[in-house]
Structure 1
Amino acid sequence: MKETIAKGGIEESRLTVLHNFIEKNNKDYTLQTNEKYVLYFGRISIEKGIKTLVDVIKELPHIKFVFVGDGPLE
């Protein structure tokens, strides 16, 4: 993966690849193919702009949002 990204013009020495370090659970998250989704992956906290994202969600009732992460606003 690092080599592929480096081909885009970023020095390999500036890149770190973190392999899946979270515990996998066997939950089934089946998404409908005819639906539109937005995925947020990150810390769920004020400093990450979650309030802005919540405001956007209110304006887009036809789009489903999937949150992956944790934090104080979880």
Structure 2
Amino acid sequence: MDRLRELRKERGLTLDLVSVGTNINSVYLSRYETGKVSPNISTLIKLADYYDVSIDYLVGRSDVR
């Protein structure tokens, strides 16, 4: 999920900061960013809310944030 890394880098955030803000373990965030693991729907909702984008944007179904 390249968009997760892209959003994090755009905002100048570390995995640890996103972890604190979303209550998602930074190890899992790293795995989501590299595509080793896919987040479940509740995790996608947390991430979309955190970054203020749509789930469709996160998963690459739309270019509209």
Same fold (TM over 0.5): no
User: How high is the TM-score relative to the length of structure 2?
Assistant: 0.23
Larger radius of gyration: 1
* TM-score of the pair, normalised by structure 1: 0.21
**Greater helix share, structure number:** 2
